[in-house]
Amino acid sequence: MSIEVNNESGVEIDETALAQLGRFVLDALRIDPLAEVSVLLVDTDTMAALHVQWMDLPGPTDVMAFPMDGAAGPAERVDPSAPPGTDANPGEAMLGDVVLCPAVAADQAASAGHSTEAELHLLCTHGILHLLGYDHGEPDEEREMFELQARLVTDWARATKRGPIRAPRPGTGGEIRDSRR
């Protein structure tokens, strides 16, 4: 399985840690080890252009997720208990791309009271969950996704002995400003 990280943001990022986080999240969710994810870090201008192109919204956002054709979409979530290679668990498929903007993450990290690295780990986890079909458009979906996200980043922080990651909970006002294609 491959978690490919490409940093085009101009900001120094621990790319190895992001790749390890991606692997951790997929393993925790029992996603086929041959599934692939691409993580791209971009500057604010690039993120703003993507935000306008795909969401018709102005300005940069923190995270965007682009599921590959045939991967889980909003109506179909990956089922880790399903046999790999089925529609419910894509096996060795390319799940899609997660695009992160470190500059936006840095601003949000300051507000959340944790490091920019912690914010990027939170956002990367959030993006991967979107690739797997999780969404937060409805209150029940939001609760489920954000609780899973909080558990994953807490487990990651504990396993790697990193500082705390203050993951937002539904309805707390600390929402992620992500955009999906």
Q: What is the DSSP string of the chain?
A: -EEEEEE-SSS---HHHHHHHHHHHHHHTT--TT-EEEEEE--HHHHHHHHHHHH---S--SEEEEEPTTS-BTTB---TTSPTTBTTB-TT-EEEEEEE-HHHHHHHHHHHTS-HHHHHHHHHHHHHHHHTT---SSHHHHHHHHHHHHHHHHHHHHHHTPPP-----TTSS-----EE-
pLDDT-wise least confident of 73-82, 133-142, 170-179: 170-179
Given a contact cutoff of 8 angstroms between Cβ atoms, the answer to whether 120 and 162 are in contact is no
Per-residue pLDDT reduced to its tens digit, 25-51: 999 999 888 899 999 999 999 999 999
Per-residue pLDDT reduced to its tens digit, 88-146: 555 567 899 999 999 999 999 999 889 999 999 999 999 999 999 999 999 999 999 99
Q: What is the average pLDDT value for the chain, to the nearest integer? A: 85
- The residue among 114, 154, 156 whose CA lies nearest residue 17 is 156
Report pTM. Answer: 0.83
> What does R_g of the chain's alpha carbons equal in angstroms?
15
pLDDT for 75 beyond 90: no
Q: Under CATH, to which class is 2-180 assigned?
A: alpha beta
Beta-bridge partner residues of 159: none
